Structure 1
Amino acid sequence: MDIPPARTIDHLPSLGRAQDAALIDRDGALTFAELESAVALMAGGLRALGLEPGARVATWLPKTRTACLMPLAAARAGLVHVPVNPSLKRAQVAHILSDSGAVVLVTQAARVAALEPGDVPEGCRVLTEAPQGDPVAAAERNPTALAAILYTSGSTGRPKGVMLSHANLWLGAVSVTQYLKLTRDDRVLAVLPLSFDYGQNQLFSTWVAGGAVVPLDYLTARDVVKAVERFEVTTLAGVPPLWTQLLEAAWPAETAARLQRLTNSGGALTPRMVRALRERFAGADLYAMYGLTEAFRSTYLLPERIDANPDAIGAAIPFAEVAVVRADGSRAEKDEPGELVHAGPLVAQGYWRDAERTAVRFRPAPGWMESGGMAVWSGDTVALGSDGLLRFVGRDDEMMKVAGNRISPTEVEEAVLAGGEVAEAIAVGLPDERQGQAITVVARALVEDAEAAVRARLRRDLPSFQQPSHYVWIDALPRNANGKLDRVAVRALAQRAVQA
Structure 2
Amino acid sequence: MSINCIRTLLEDAALTHSDKTSVVFGDKSVTYGELFSRVNQVAFYLEELGLPKDSRIGIYSNKGIEQVVSVLAILSTNHILVPLTKLLKPEQVEYIINDCDIKCIITDKLKLESIEEINFDGHIISYETTSKDIASFDEIYKYYNKPYICDINGHNNAVITYSFGLSGTPKGIVISHRNLIDSARVVSQYLHLEENDIISGLLIFNLDYGLNQIFCTLYKKARLALHRFILPEDFFNHLINDGVTVLPVMPVNLSQMFDEDVRRIPSADLFDSVKTITSSGGNVTEKMIGDCKKHFQKASFYSMHGLTEAFRSTYLDPSQVEIRPDSIGRPIPDVELYVINADGNECAVREVGELIHRGGYIYRGFWNAPEQNAERFKSVQILKDVINLEGQLTDEIVVASGDYVYKDEEGYLYFVSRQDDMIKTRGFRVSPYEVESVVAINIPQIDQCAVFGIDNELIEQEIVMVYSAAGQISENEIVFELKKHLASYMIPSRIVFKKSLPLIQSDKSQINKSELKRTLSDN
TM-score category of the 2 structures, normalised to the smaller one? 0.7 to 0.9
Q: Does 1:383 align with 2:406?
A: yes
Distance 1:225 1:156 in 2: 39
Deviation, 1:155, is 8.6
Distance 1:104 1:265 in 2: 31
Counterpart in the other structure of 1:442: none
Report Cα offsets for 1:440-472 as digits up to 9, x if no partner. Answer: xxxxxxxxxxxxxxxxxxxxxxxxxxxxxxxxx
Counterpart in the other structure of 2:99: 99
Deviation, 1:364, is 1.8
CA contact (8 A) 1:188 1:213 kept: yes
**Shift in CA distance, 27/49, structure 1 to aligned 2, threshold 3 Å:** farther
Counterpart in the other structure of 1:142: 153
**Shift in CA distance, 357/330, structure 1 to aligned 2, threshold 3 Å:** same
**Shift in CA distance, 399/53, structure 1 to aligned 2, threshold 3 Å:** closer
Distance 2:81 2:19 in 1: 28
Deviation, 1:70, is 2.1
2:461 maps to a residue whose letter is I
Q: Does 1:290 align with 2:301?
A: no
What is the TM-score when the length of structure 1 is the normalising length?
0.78
Report Cα offsets for 1:22-70 as digits up to 9, x if no partner. Answer: 1112343322222222222221111111111111111101112221122
Counterpart in the other structure of 1:278: 293
Deviation, 1:495, is 7.3
**Shift in CA distance, 103/274, structure 1 to aligned 2, threshold 3 Å:** same
Counterpart in the other structure of 1:81: 81
Two-structure CA RMSD over aligned residues (Å): 3.1
Counterpart in the other structure of 2:473: none
Q: Does 1:394 align with 2:409?
A: no
Q: How does 1:15-94 map to 2 (within 5 A)?
A: 15-16=12-13, 17-94=17-94
Distance 2:422 2:405 in 1: 12
CA contact (8 A) 2:56 2:101 kept: yes
**Shift in CA distance, 203/156, structure 1 to aligned 2, threshold 3 Å:** farther
Q: How does 1:470-485 map to 2 (within 5 A)?
A: none
**Shift in CA distance, 327/219, structure 1 to aligned 2, threshold 3 Å:** same
What is the TM-score when the length of structure 2 is the normalising length?
0.74
**Shift in CA distance, 137/42, structure 1 to aligned 2, threshold 3 Å:** same
**Shift in CA distance, 428/244, structure 1 to aligned 2, threshold 3 Å:** closer
CA contact (8 A) 1:153 1:482 kept: no
CA contact (8 A) 2:76 2:152 kept: no
Distance 1:45 1:336 in 2: 56
Counterpart in the other structure of 1:460: none
Q: How does 1:347-386 map to 2 (within 5 A)?
A: 347-365=362-380, 366-367=383-384, 368=387, 373-386=396-409
Counterpart in the other structure of 2:337: 322
Q: Secondary structure at the match of 2:154?
A: coil
**Shift in CA distance, 318/106, structure 1 to aligned 2, threshold 3 Å:** same
Q: Does 1:242 align with 2:239?
A: no
Counterpart in the other structure of 1:443: none
Deviation, 1:204, is 0.6
Counterpart in the other structure of 1:453: none
Distance 1:51 1:230 in 2: 42
Deviation, 1:153, is 4.7
**Shift in CA distance, 24/153, structure 1 to aligned 2, threshold 3 Å:** farther
2:276 corresponds, among 261, 266, 269, to 261
**Shift in CA distance, 114/482, structure 1 to aligned 2, threshold 3 Å:** closer
**Shift in CA distance, 399/25, structure 1 to aligned 2, threshold 3 Å:** closer
**Shift in CA distance, 493/233, structure 1 to aligned 2, threshold 3 Å:** same
Deviation, 1:162, is 0.6
Deviation, 1:230, is 1.2
Q: Secondary structure at the match of 1:252?
A: coil
CA contact (8 A) 1:338 1:382 kept: yes
Q: Secondary structure at the match of 2:405?
A: strand
**Shift in CA distance, 34/429, structure 1 to aligned 2, threshold 3 Å:** closer
1:169 corresponds, among 155, 166, 180, to 180
**Shift in CA distance, 28/373, structure 1 to aligned 2, threshold 3 Å:** same
CA contact (8 A) 2:309 2:399 kept: yes
Counterpart in the other structure of 1:125: 123
2:157 maps to a residue whose letter is L
1:252 maps to a residue whose letter is P
Q: Does 1:339 align with 2:354?
A: yes
CA contact (8 A) 2:70 2:106 kept: no
Distance 1:322 1:252 in 2: 41
Deviation, 1:169, is 0.7
1:82 maps to a residue whose letter is V
CA contact (8 A) 2:377 2:397 kept: yes
Q: Secondary structure at the match of 1:312?
A: coil
Deviation, 1:428, is 8.8
Counterpart in the other structure of 2:162: 151
CA contact (8 A) 1:70 1:81 kept: no
**Shift in CA distance, 429/100, structure 1 to aligned 2, threshold 3 Å:** closer
**Shift in CA distance, 172/113, structure 1 to aligned 2, threshold 3 Å:** same
Report Cα offsets for 1:155-208 as digits up to 9, x if no partner. Answer: 961111110000111101111111111111111111111012111111111221
**Shift in CA distance, 112/482, structure 1 to aligned 2, threshold 3 Å:** closer
1:426 maps to a residue whose letter is Q
1:322 maps to a residue whose letter is L
**Shift in CA distance, 127/171, structure 1 to aligned 2, threshold 3 Å:** same
1:13 corresponds, among 10, 15, 24, to 10
Deviation, 1:142, is 2.3
Distance 1:33 1:297 in 2: 31
1:235 maps to a residue whose letter is V
Distance 2:388 2:233 in 1: 46
Report Cα offsets for 1:368-417 as digits up to 9, x if no partner. Answer: 288972122111111111212111111123499xxxxxxxxxxx95xx85
1:377 maps to a residue whose letter is A
2:209 maps to a residue whose letter is Y
Counterpart in the other structure of 1:426: 461
**Shift in CA distance, 494/15, structure 1 to aligned 2, threshold 3 Å:** farther
Structure 1 gaps of 5+ residues are 401-411, 418-422, 432-477
Distance 2:388 2:12 in 1: 33
CA contact (8 A) 2:104 2:124 kept: yes
Deviation, 1:349, is 0.7
2:209 corresponds, among 187, 198, 204, to 198
Counterpart in the other structure of 1:209: 220
Report Cα offsets for 1:298-320 as digits up to 9, x if no partner. Answer: 11011111111111111111232
2:253 maps to a residue whose letter is L
Distance 1:100 1:308 in 2: 45
Counterpart in the other structure of 2:265: 251
Distance 1:176 1:188 in 2: 13
Distance 2:397 2:486 in 1: 29
Deviation, 1:115, is 3.9
Q: What fraction of aligned residue pairs are identical, expressed as a percent?
A: 28
Q: Does 1:306 align with 2:299?
A: no
